[in-house]
Amino acid sequence: MTDTTAPEHESTHSGVSRKTVVDAALKCFRQLGPHKTSMTDIAREAGISRKTLYRMFEDRPALVNQVLFQLLRGMGSKSAGAVAKYQDVKEALIEGSIENIRIAQEEELFQAIILNETSTQMEHFLVQGNDAVRAEIVKIWAPVFERGRADGTLRNDLSDERLAEIIQNVHSLVLMRKDETESAQRAFLEDLLWAALTNQSAS
């Protein structure tokens, strides 16, 4: 599968960067809605041909995944701020996660894409991600990882990247359970996320 978060500024012979195409897709998605936006609409907005568009992104899911990545990165500062409010490791992981999930739920375009785009590639991206996605998650959670290892709460056998992958997996599951209340989310996070990341003796 093509890496859908390849360098944004990589240009084709047309001189148009991947970022230009992603920005065009974002604009079309916001104006028309994801389900009504065609690849032709995006190519026209980016000022390129459909043929050039498909040389840059092998298919629609590959482009949609890059749009999701752009939206996730745009939510990064809010997400980091939500996590930073909690000094206690458990509160950061549980309450910070709930706030991160709420931030994603309040991003209307992100939710519209999840609800309207159906592809195995997108589901794989949401649940498993890739190196670029995990790097963004590590940036948000690194201070919590450091405190958790220092006080013996978090498992030392898990790298930052593996911790980030588990967080993404669990957050994606919660997002898909869109009818859940915060109390139900909290119980779910304690059963899955807290149990997966912490030492057995952690309270």
* Shared domain check, 80 and 171: yes
User: What confidence tier does 122 reach under pLDDT thresholds 50, 70, 90?
Assistant: low
Residue 177 shares a structural domain with residue 82: yes
List pLDDT tens digits, range 45-83: 999 999 999 999 999 989 998 999 999 899 999 999 999
> Which CATH number is 39's domain given?
1.10.10.60
Q: Same structural domain for residues 118 and 156? A: yes
Does one domain contain both 76 and 153?
A: yes
What's the mean per-residue pLDDT of the chain? 87
Q: Is residue 93 included in any domain, yes or no?
A: yes
Same domain, 48 and 77: no
Of 74, 71, 179, 68, residue with least CA distance to 126: 68
Residue 15 and residue 102 share a domain = no
- Does the structure show a pLDDT above 80 at 98? yes
Looking at the structure, tell me whether residues 83 and 173 fall in a common domain. yes
Question: CA–CA separation, 81 vs 33, rounded Å?
Answer: 29
Looking at the structure of the chain, the number of domains it has is 2
Q: What is the pLDDT of residue 124?
A: 65
Taking a C-beta distance cutoff of 8 angstroms, is the pair 172, 127 a contact? yes
pLDDT at residue 130 is higher than 90: no
Is the pLDDT at 13 greater than 70? The verdict is: no
Question: What average pLDDT does the segment 169-182 reach?
Answer: 82
1 found inside a domain: no
- 52/130 same-domain check: no
| Domain match, 86 and 160 both | yes
Is 203 among the domain residues? no
Per-residue buried b or exposed e for 134-163, using 16+ beta carbons within 10 Å of the residue's own CB: bebbbbbbeebbeebbeeebbbeebebeeb
Instruction: List the one residue out of 192, 159, 154, 160 whose CA is nearest residue 173.
Output: 192
pLDDT score for 123 = 66
* Cα-based torsion angle of the residue sequence 202, 147, 188, 69 in order, rounded to the nearest 10 degrees: -150
**What residue type is assigned to position 110 of the chain?**
F
pLDDT at 32: 94
In a domain, 104, yes or no: yes
47: left (phi over 0), alpha (psi -120 to 50) or beta: left
CA–CA separation, 85 vs 52, rounded Å?
45
Q: Which range of residues forms the domain containing residue 96?
A: 70-197
Phi, psi at 139, each rounded to 5°: -55, -40
Which residues lie across from 11 on neighbouring strands?
17
Q: Are residues 51 and 104 in the same domain?
A: no
Could you tell me if 80 and 152 lie in one domain?
yes
CB atoms within 10 A of CB 193: 20
Residue 3 lies in a domain: no
Q: Do 187 and 110 sit in the same domain of this protein? A: yes
